[in-house]
Each structure stands twice: as C-alpha cells, then as structure tokens.
Amino acid sequence: MSSSGEVIGDWQIGKELGSGHFAKVKLGQHVKTGKQCAVKIIKKLSGSKAILLKTEVDILKKVNHPYIVKCYDVIDDEKSNKLYLFMELMSGGELFDRIVDKGHFTENDAVVTTIKLVDAINYLHSLGIAHRDLKPENMLMTDQTPYAEVKITDFGLSKFFDEQSAVMQTPCGTPGYIAPEVLRMKGYGKECDVWSLGVIIYILLCGFPPFYADNDAQLYEKIKRGEYEFLRPYWDPISENAKDLIRRMLTVDPKRRITCTDALQHPWLKDEATKLSHEIETVRNLREESKRKVKAAVHAVEAVNRMAGSTEEES
C-alpha cells in the first residue's frame, strides 16, 4: 500500500473498493502489523439514520462469531464528521456470485453452508439481535478459493430486540427474502430471519428463488400465502430431509416456524452440525483469548508509561 495514504488512528487508508449513497469502502492497512482490512467510511447523519448507524456500530462491537464479518476498530472523526469502521477484508465476493458460478451447490455443500449461517443467526438471536436483511448479497466469501468461508455482513437494518416486549414494526428487507409477517405490517420478531434463511437455502440447492412474479405486488401476495413449490426436475435429486427443513423455515405462521436452535437439530443438519459446533466454539474462544491478550498488553504498556512518568516527576 502506498505510503501517501491518509492515516486514521492506527490505520492507513488506501484505494477505494466501492461506494454507496452514504458510505465509501476503501482498503486499509494496520500501520504496525501490516494487516489489511476494508474501511467503511460513513458520513454521519442526523435523525433516524443516525440511530440506525449507532445500532449498527453497537452490534459490530458486540458480536464475535467465526461466520460473522469481524469489526477490528471504530473511529469517530469529529473533524471530518465521518465514522470509520475497520472491517475484516472479504475478497471472495458475494455468496450470490458463488451460487451463479456453480449453478447450484451440491447438497453436501449446502448442508455445511446452511449450518454456518444458521449457527451465526442463532448466535445473533441469543444476543437479542435480529439481522432483518438476510440475502446472498449480505453473505460474503473470505477469498476466491474453493475452501473460502462464508460470513454474514451488513448490519445496517439490524435491531436489538427485547424478548419480553419489543415487537419490531418497521417494514424492511429485500423483495424475495421478506417474511410474510413483515409484509402484513402488524409487527414481527426475530423469526423473520429464519424465513429469509429458508429462501437462501432454497436458492443454494437449486439456483433460483422460491418466490417470483412479474411485479412486487404479485410477489408479496405469493410470499404472504407461502406459495412456492419444489419444481421438477431441479429438485428430484434433493433429499426429503432438505425439503422438510425448507418447509419448516418457510412456514407462514412465525409461531409455528422452526427456530435456529431446532434447525441445527433437524435430521438434515444434525450430524454435521455436531462436528462443526466444536470448531465454531474453539474459534470463538481463541478470538476471545487473543482479544484478552491484546488488552493485557495495552494495559501493561500504559502501566509502565505511568510508572516511568511518576519516577521522572519524583526525580
């Protein structure tokens, strides 16, 4: 990376990777370690957009899961009125692109990917977080290799919920992935994420979506009725267990819809999920341990500096 790049905190900012209405994404590099990252640079806004941004940052700071994109650092720059999010660099493109490249996943591919995504969403739900905009474009691959990991990103529409009281009201999401209860606009809960995941798993297995129509109005009517099918011949090679889990995830009544916890115990996923759960827990513990070591090192340096300062004052 060019040494002429702007430096913010411990990070040097490099070339632009992409841009949207309110944010740009640039390549970043840690000045001391050389570790690369993606820097999301957001213009600070007021009103409801400021609240959404604060929620996104709070969620990114809180989450620690191997299949959720990691946030290394957050810097609020008062001078430029911008917020800098230093994120794990995901260079493998979107899960959607991977599906298009392959045509569809094999059933074994789909089992492993499904477990990772369901486990990540189960983790979010356990923290009282609903993602609310799950779609293949918000699932990124770590690199271009066949062994790349998939990770969930984009918490711009996510929300903390309270199990006791809060019913989310704001209609949000992406056509084709929105749950029926969100469209009915009478309030909804974290179950909306399970529906969206069900749509994604359907696409993983056959390469096309379960709900499609000539316009959004017709599409939404089909979603509200839960009107889809396992089209032949595309679904002929797929197991009944896979179809059963999708049916349970694409259940119109959210109270009867399967939870993430129960999905991991479903016959289609259970055996592989048991193996993967140990790996997931190990990775999470290692991350926590490395964070503790970094914090301890920082505190040790601060303590040494304080002692050096007080010694100088005494002399």
Where are the chain's structural domains?
7-87, 95-268
Q: What are phi and psi of 105, to 5 degrees?
A: -85, 155
Lowest-pLDDT range, 156-160, 205-209, 259-263, 284-288? Answer: 284-288
75: nearest Cα among 90, 66, 89, 85: 85
pLDDT value, residue 308: 57
pLDDT for 121 beyond 50: yes
Q: How confident is the model at residue 165 (pLDDT cuts 50, 70, 90)?
A: very low
Predicted confidence (pLDDT) per residue in 48-65, tens digit: 777 778 888 888 888 999
Q: How confident is the model at residue 171 (pLDDT cuts 50, 70, 90)?
A: low
Token output for 292? 């503790």
Nearest 10 degrees: Cα torsion 39, 45, 179, 204:
-20
Higher pLDDT: 311 or 35? It is 35
Segment 173-185 shows an average pLDDT of 88
Q: Can 109 be counted among the known catalytic residues? A: no
Higher pLDDT: 69 or 162? It is 69
pLDDT for 291 beyond 50: yes
pLDDT for 15 beyond 60: yes
Mean pLDDT across the chain: 84
Segment 33-44 shows an average pLDDT of 89
pLDDT value, residue 297: 56
Strand partners, 163: none
CATH value of 95-268 in 1.10.1060.10, 1.10.10.10, 3.40.640.10, 1.10.510.10: 1.10.510.10
The contacts of residue 30 (CB under 8 Å, 6+ apart) are: 10, 11, 12, 36, 37, 72
Predicted confidence (pLDDT) per residue in 201-247, tens digit: 999 899 899 999 999 899 999 999 999 999 999 999 999 999 999 99
Residues 131 and 160: their CA atoms lie apart, in Å, by: 9
Residues 177 and 250: their CA atoms lie apart, in Å, by: 11
Assigned CATH topology for domain 7-87: Phosphorylase Kinase; domain 1 (3.30.200)
Placement of tokens 């917020």 in the chain? 83
**50: enclosing H helix or E strand:** helix 48-62
pLDDT for 20 beyond 80: no
Residues 2 and 158: their CA atoms lie apart, in Å, by: 35
Placement of tokens 């001078």 in the chain? 79
Q: Which of 76, 97, 133, 162 is catalytic?
A: 133
Instruction: Identify the three-state secondary structure at position 207.
Output: coil
pLDDT value, residue 52: 77
Q: How confident is the model at residue 283 (pLDDT cuts 50, 70, 90)?
A: low
CB atoms within 10 A of CB 239: 14
Higher pLDDT: 263 or 279? It is 263
What's the alpha-carbon Rg for the chain, to the nearest Å?
22
pLDDT for 119 beyond 60: yes
Strand partners, 71: 87
Segment 76-91 shows an average pLDDT of 88
Q: How confident is the model at residue 162 (pLDDT cuts 50, 70, 90)?
A: low
Q: How confident is the model at residue 164 (pLDDT cuts 50, 70, 90)?
A: very low
Q: Note the pTM of the prediction, 2 decimals.
A: 0.82
Q: How confident is the model at residue 270 (pLDDT cuts 50, 70, 90)?
A: very high
89: nearest Cα among 137, 173, 30, 133: 30
Strand blocks (E) in the chain: 7-8, 11-19, 23-30, 36-43, 71-77, 82-87, 129-130, 139-141, 150-152, 159-160
Residues 6 and 10: their CA atoms lie apart, in Å, by: 11
CB atoms within 10 A of CB 136: 21
